[in-house]
Structure 1
Amino acid sequence: MPKPKSLAGTRIRAEVIRLVALIPVGKFTTYGSIAVHMNVAALHVASVMSRLTKEESATLPWHRVVSSDARVSQNMEASLSAVQRERLESEGMELDAQGYILDSDAHFHVVGLRRNIRWSDPSSLDA
């Protein structure tokens, strides 16, 4: 996996990984929720998630991050979608045939309020 080319990219990647690691068992969040909290675009979060190393994928609960409509990502390979679905169901979430999490409000993990961060400015990370 190529390393981010900027200090900001490195910091964004580290924060996405940190936030995903904090999602409790039986809960999920969305790419957009993480992005709002971090003050970045959801595409930044999705990009980080799609480039996890094998080691990160093995230890990080990546399966707890879904699309904005509480659905297993449609952009993922079918085999990964199946893994995500299995893991979510093993944690007590029910999904319908299209991959939507049922009773999503009961399982949604709130990442937090929007942070006012400029990722290229180290002093703003304390915000």
Structure 2
Amino acid sequence: MAKPKSLAATRIRAEVIRLVGLIPGGKFTTYGSIAIHMNVAALHVSSVMSRLTDEESKTLPWHRVVGADARISPKMNAELAVLQRKRLEQEGFHLDAQGYIQDADSHFHVVGLRRSIRWSDP
């Protein structure tokens, strides 16, 4: 039997999804920016993003979250990377052959300052 998710994991997942949903069109942010704002590791954010449900994938602008160097993650599944690139380009982003967003500073979405949150279960 699978171990039930902790309350902290559930809260982190919900907050990642909420923050991704707030990224405006024509802007992007990074796994690390979300992580810093939430006071968690970027791996937590990427883990949530890699496990989106089909419904979440259809409704969330997941394609607006990229690696720390403003690049589509080279670790991403190739089909998803192509889809992410296509969606970013449809929003007016210019990417080079390696998947780096050009003129990244003008498109970067600031998630916010680091929050002092304790995610652990009480």
TM-score (norm 2): 0.95
Q: For the structure 1 residues 88 and 3, does the alpha-carbon distance in structure 2 shift closer, same or farther, using more than 3 Å as the test?
A: farther
**Residue number in structure 1 paired with 2:66:** 66
Deviations 1:43-95 (A, max 9, x none): 00000000000000000000000000000011111110000000001001100
Q: For the structure 1 residues 3 and 48, does the alpha-carbon distance in structure 2 shift closer, same or farther, using more than 3 Å as the test?
A: farther
| Structure 1: distance between partners of 2:75 and 2:47 | 12
Q: Which runs of 5+ in 1 are unaligned?
A: 123-127
**Residue number in structure 2 paired with 1:5:** 5
Q: For the structure 1 residues 69 and 116, does the alpha-carbon distance in structure 2 shift closer, same or farther, using more than 3 Å as the test?
A: same
Q: For the structure 1 residues 55 and 115, does the alpha-carbon distance in structure 2 shift closer, same or farther, using more than 3 Å as the test?
A: same
The Cα shift of 1:120 comes to 2.6
The Cα shift of 1:5 comes to 1.1
Task: Output aligned runs, 1:16-35, within 5 Å.
Answer: 16-35=16-35
The Cα shift of 1:12 comes to 0.1
User: SS of the residue aligned with 1:82?
Assistant: helix
2:29–2:109: 8 Å Cα contact kept in structure 1? yes
* 1:88 has 2:96 as partner: no
* 1:48 has 2:42 as partner: no
Q: Which amino acid aligns with 2:46?
A: A
| Structure 2: distance between partners of 1:59 and 1:36 | 24
User: SS of the residue aligned with 1:74?
Assistant: coil
| Structure 1: distance between partners of 2:9 and 2:67 | 22
Q: How many residues align?
A: 121
**Residue number in structure 1 paired with 2:109:** 109
| Structure 2: distance between partners of 1:76 and 1:32 | 16
- Structure 1's consecutive aligned runs of 4 or more residues displaced over 4 angstroms after TM superposition are none
| Structure 1: distance between partners of 2:93 and 2:86 | 10
TM-score (norm 1): 0.92
**Residue number in structure 2 paired with 1:77:** 77
